[in-house]
Amino acid sequence: MRIGILGGTFNPIHNGHLHIASEVLNACALERIWFMPTCLPPHKDLADAVSFAHRFAMVEAAIGAYPQFAACDLEGRRGGRSYSVKTLEELRRLYPDDEFTFIMGLDSFAEIGLWRSYPRLFELCHIAVAARPGFTGSLEQLLPVAVADRFCYDADALKLSGKSGFSVQLVKQTAADISSTEIRSRLATGEPVDGLISAAVADYVHQHQLYRQPSVG
């Protein structure tokens, strides 16, 4: 099976995540997308200290209407810092007959040289890079110099083909960015979040009183 892996804090999961998953599913001819919340992100603190259990439950609520989407709790069960290379190595071990595509944003791909054991990522899976609307650059420009000789760039296909047999493909988004930070801020002050998160996620947030400002006095 051809499976896309969309990781993130999902704090909370929003409609932008769902849109990216849908576009990559179609652009890369995938059969499933697995949403994988991080346990502890390696490069930043988790805002508002929302537990893995809550973030995983919000993912399940958000994707309930999408039969090709599934939630994966692998990083939560493993615990500790969530390094993508460890996750992908474990997925390859657990599901040797499946083919994985790791989904990441353009900003993250531009900083991939800072990731732990990043050259190994290109040996484990395909990578789909979701670019913001209006992006006119190329993946070749963003590829770390240390691994550039492993790839051949196909400008027409917006793809880097690697010697490992795996590729890096650019997927151009058609929707504007949505910020989890902005959503948390709106939820904290009681502002509307219509169109930003699904009704199911909004209900979960309300039910569990997440992202509220602490009471004073």
What percentage of the chain reaches a pLDDT higher than 70?
95
Q: How confident is the model at residue 64 (pLDDT cuts 50, 70, 90)?
A: very high
Residue 77: exposure state from Cβ atoms within 10 A (0-12, 13-18, ≥19):
exposed
Boundaries of every domain in the chain: 2-178
Query: Helix, strand, coil shares of the chain as percentages rounded to 5?
Result: 40, 20, 40
**pLDDT of residue 216 exceeding 50:** no
Cα–Cα nearest to 7, from 71, 78, 95, 99: 71
For 98-137, how does the pLDDT look when each residue is reduced to its tens digit (9 = 90+)? 999 999 999 999 999 999 999 999 999 999 999 988 888 8
Query: Do 38 and 78 meet the contact criterion of CB atoms below 8 Å apart?
Result: no
Q: If you search the block for the tokens 């054991």, which residue do you land on?
A: 117
Q: How far, in Å, CA of 14 to CA of 201, rounded?
A: 8
CATH of domain 2-178: 3.40.50.620
**pTM summary value:** 0.92
